[in-house]
Structure 1
């Protein structure tokens, strides 16, 4: 049975656990470095996120354990009559807690935060090599309405 989740903004003390979650799959393990000592790059990125009022790096806890994390970016733009959208990234559930309905609750929270901030849209991207994640997002009502493109700069 899924216990109650609590959500809060991440603190610098959460970085080790967050990076560990981000690296806990095939794709993440090839990109992240989840050592006990966090690199200066992660610390600097966290400081920029924490100082930006349009960024929310969030963690979900259950019984004192960090069970999930995600980042919301609130984007103001001119289209949609000066609308606002939320971009959701770095969505992870701790592997020890997957399959318990936590992801559904995380997305319900994120949808509510986006609405509270006045967003008319919540969007996310998912690597095509994550078919299970894509199926999960579709089960929540997300649809693939656009073809995303990226230009790797490094």
Structure 2
């Protein structure tokens, strides 16, 4: 598997992955042509040195999964950096093959390279399989997260 920074031409495939579950179907729009807002978001992410939109390819160049890794500078923890993993998606036909575990392990190693002191993520409570997956990889539900959507 190849882990690489996403390119603009990957955006439709990434959005398709994001839309491929019951929650993603409610919030994503993977029509053709893809709404320009996705490309605008990609450009903003791509320009930000603290954001890494990653895709995972097979040896034959097929896109297998994606994740976004954000590095957040804090004053706490003596000016520490937290790494936030978001939008982890794996192509439906290759789930269960260990790709997700390799993706998270890659993200953790990348966080270490960037000198992060913590790796954190959130998963929707409506995704119990994802919660079990992250717990199996050593993540602990140590905090209660809250969101306010606009």
Please give the TM-score of this superposition, normalised by the length of structure 2: 0.98
What corresponds to 1:31 in structure 2?
A: 27
Which stretches in structure 1 are left out of the alignment for 5+ residues?
A: none
User: Which of 140, 145, 149 is equivalent to 1:143?
Assistant: 140
In structure 2, distance between residues paired with 1:37 and 1:109 = 32
SS in structure 1 at match of 2:29: coil
In the alignment, structure 1 residue 17 sits paired with structure 2 residue 13 = yes
In structure 2, distance between residues paired with 1:10 and 1:146 = 31
Q: Deviations over 1:101-154 (max 9, x none)?
A: 00010011000100000001110000000000000000000000000011112x
User: Which of 52, 62, 66 is equivalent to 1:65?
Assistant: 62
In structure 2, distance between residues paired with 1:59 and 1:31 = 21
Question: Which aligned segments of 4 or more residues in structure 1 are displaced greater than 3 angstroms?
Answer: none
Structure 1 residue 32 displacement after superposition: 0.4
In the alignment, structure 1 residue 55 sits paired with structure 2 residue 57 = no
How many aligned residue pairs are there? 149
Structure 1 residue 36 displacement after superposition: 2.7
In structure 1, distance between residues paired with 2:34 and 2:69 = 22
In structure 2, distance between residues paired with 1:150 and 1:108 = 27
In structure 1, distance between residues paired with 2:34 and 2:109 = 31
Please give the TM-score of this superposition, normalised by the length of structure 1: 0.95
In structure 1, distance between residues paired with 2:41 and 2:34 = 11
In structure 1, distance between residues paired with 2:144 and 2:137 = 19
In structure 1, distance between residues paired with 2:14 and 2:146 = 27
